[in-house]
A and B are shown apart, each in its own frame.
Chain A
């Protein structure tokens, strides 16, 4: 059956986030030939609608209001629920981002619907739309279907390939006027700590440090390598517990789960707790002094050596490649 599927697009610093294009690709599968409608909520965001169409949306609905400049659950819920009421879709897809995690359960509760969070794949099989999602932080996977009502899912960044951008595609970008009432929680201030780097959950490359990094300063060579590769810096629980870095960088069963193309583990022993957060990365490199370290068991490539020698050498070597390409 064909379905109308809505995709809530997300912006960061005025640009669309990659995960929104991935969500459109997922929505195309859910739609089974039906219409995919992008939804843009914010202030002065309508100009981004064309790009959603180029990535596969058939048309775009825009809700703009000065109260929607920053994401708040109350503001976005009002905007999105108005769109849902008007469009009555059979499917709804968000990115499994901070925003998606915060808003999607509320919308699901409001609509008395199911919600499949953090999907890493979607397919149509045996007459069902089947989502794959990691459980136990990636130590296992489950396949899940919606049995009643709206097919609603959030998709994990970096897992579902976006469709190729087609600049010749055109579609309607129409505004929907919604009166945004009072917000019960107001953002007073945003302290940007992650701004210097790339967002961990969406990064294609993650350079991660463990106890072997030995101090906060010890993260400097890792940051340099991350800069050269356009990646983000992460950490093991050990490094966070030892106060070498902020908990916001922690990767593991508690902490963030990442699936970049390239994960470089520096001075990380590879406890189960850490592996749960990164073992589904596409390519894993381990750098550790201890040849017996558990991390080598999940690594595709390993170097036994002192990270403070290896990482700067790697940085220099990658610089050469970047210059050539």
Chain B
């Protein structure tokens, strides 16, 4: 089975965000595989181990994403592809990224494409479904279970807390929701092997794309931090009185109940 994973390099979830020069300050920040994409890598490896085939991990971004791609290879993926967009990625949006990925995938005869359901930095969750539409294949988002039998696929999808059991077929694109699996940690032998696994680096030219073809349709005009909250009121006194006071405050001062 020919399996592809869409992977994004993102800020660590525990990082504090600061802004300098109108942009998110990346100096000294830790970067990780987007957590939802980690589920995607794990699921791809499990599907391959059960059905045979090959897992290729793709990332669109800068050279720095090589580290996260190596991590995915160390987890057990077979090959990695970095589509280096340098300047384009600075101004690119989800239209840009999905067009590049779809262009790369269009002649790869992918059976299964797995991505995270959302990236924790930009948070738009667009790229997966956009790629599926561009490739004209079905997709299911926010999945928590994937069962493959030949070309028949049964997927469990998280829908705001409820679950839908969906029947569909390969080729298919799915996006991972938390709960899909427990991503493995790369083993030491895995890390050693990953260094020798193929990591192909491509540019727009290699995909016969011009900058104009992938020019963003949207533009960020300002980035800012939320206003700092003033310290709240920690109540004191007998517990019973505190509770009465709290309810009174919520009712009359904050007026939320």
Interface of A with B (CB < 8 Å)? 73-74, 97-98, 101-106, 108-110, 112-118, 128, 130, 133-149, 184-195, 197, 199-201, 204-205, 229, 246-250, 253-255, 261-262, 271-273, 276, 279-280, 282-286, 291, 296-305, 309-310, 313-314, 317-318, 321
Contact = CB atoms under 8 A, between A and B. Distances in A.
A280 B226 contact: yes
A184 B142 CA distance: 17
A296 B233 CA distance: 9
A282 B224 CA distance: 19
B257 A262 contact: yes
A130 B222 CA distance: 10
Contacts of A255: 178
A254 B165 CA distance: 23
Interface in B121-173: 121-134, 138-142, 144, 154-155, 158-169
Q: Interface centre among B117, B121, B162, B167, by most A CB within 10 Å?
A: B162
Contact of A117 (B14, B123, B247, B254): B123
B220 A318 contact: no
A136 B169 contact: no
Given A101-B125, A105-B129, A187-B166, A317 B178 contact: no
Given A115-B218, A186-B168, A273-B13, A302 B250 contact: no
A313 B218 contact: no
Interface residues of B, number: 85
B207 interface: no
Contacts of B13: 253-254, 272-273, 276
Contact of A193 (B161, B221, B224, B229): B161
A310 B243 contact: yes
B37 to A, nearest CB: 11
Contacts of B218: 114-116, 144-147
B20 interface: no
Main secondary structure of the interface of A (DSSP, over half): mixed
A136 B223 CA distance: 11
A115 B250 contact: no
A135 B243 contact: no
Given A141-B223, A303-B242, A199 B161 contact: yes
B188 to A, nearest CB: 25
